Amino acid sequence: MNHKYLTVNDLHKIHRVLLASMAFAVGLFVVSCMNRDGKAGNGMDLGKQARDTVVVFQPGKWNEADWTPVKSSRWDVCSHFVQRENWIENVVPEGATPEQLLHEKTPETYASLLWKPELEGNFTVASRMDFDYRMAPLIVLADEIGASKTEFPEFRQHWEIVLWDEGINVWHHVFDEEGKQHWTLAAYAKRPSDNLFKANTIYDLVVHVRRQAEGAILDIQCGDEHISLNAPQFPQKVRAGITACEGLNRFYDFRVTFDK
């Protein structure tokens, strides 16, 4: 009799599918509540003002037309997302090692999607995500979008809230008068070496934006990790989205809620 044994990769895949299915069940409940308010079945609202929204990245459950692919001005190349069983993931160079994806192949791993509605007031953006190896899925909050030499949408000032094995980083990207990009580490939380964020494990990254007289306070949560950041340059309107980079990353959902 022939026996087929499960490998570690098989177990990781089963684990991701089970967790994604749980996330999908939560998403279905929230979306069903939205439908009672007269919203579209996928929870999207592309009117002048965004509303509470849940997007589940499962086949047939979300609409790519509601999103704008955006590239980084740091590189001429970029990647894109593909649909998998219960998630979307960035396309990475075939045959590249995790170390190569983290270093010399990084530009070819970069893929970003911005949700089209603009966000104002006090709101929360969240996404369930995971990564292979060490990094680095993230939530992006963008002030304005420019265009590359080939007229492809390209980030200008934006914030990146990044998940990686050693913790959470918040990067603020700005452009000087000559159009040159600069970025600073605005805040971070570093995990102890015996309690790192684990690869192939779904985490819920949550960003709360609270307006103040100048800019906003960003309260960021992932598991038991928390960062609070004063961002005086934070604009009145932003667009939010997801970015994959520096490795193979997966995204299972995207949620936006507003303070009542």
What Cα–Cα distance (Å) separates residue 194 from each residue in 29, 131, 166, 191, 244? 36, 18, 10, 8, 25
CA 124, CA 76: separation in Å to the nearest integer? 32
Domain containing residue 185: CATH number:
2.60.120.560
The reply to whether 253 falls in a domain is yes
Q: Is the pLDDT of residue 27 over 50?
A: no
Q: Residue 13 — very low, low, confident or very high, per pLDDT cuts 50/70/90?
A: low
Q: What is the reported pLDDT for 78?
A: 87
DSSP letter at 119 equals: B
What is the extent of the structural domain holding 87? 8-258
Q: Residue 1: inside a domain, yes or no?
A: no
Model confidence pLDDT, tens digit, residues 65-100 = 999 999 999 888 889 999 999 999 999 999 999 999
Q: What is the pLDDT of residue 231?
A: 95
Taking 70 as the threshold, does the pLDDT of residue 46 lie above it? Answer: no
Please check whether residue 3 lies inside any domain of the structure: no
Cα–Cα distance for residue pair 233/236, rounded to 1 Å: 9
pLDDT of amino acid 10: 55
Residue with the two structure tokens 């098989």: 10
Most distant CA atoms of the chain, gap in Å: 72
Quick one: pLDDT band at residue 49, thresholds 50, 70, 90?
low
pLDDT at 14 over 70: no
Is it true that the peptide bond before 111 is cis, omega within 30 degrees of 0?
no
In the prediction, which pLDDT does 36 show? 30
Q: Which of 69, 87, 86 is nearest to 78 (CA)?
A: 69
For residue 98, tell me if it sits in a domain: yes
| Tally of domains in the chain | 1
Q: What is the pTM of this model?
A: 0.81
pLDDT in tens, 127-160: 999 999 999 999 999 998 998 888 899 999 999 9
Q: Is the pLDDT of residue 201 over 50?
A: yes
In a domain, 126, yes or no: yes
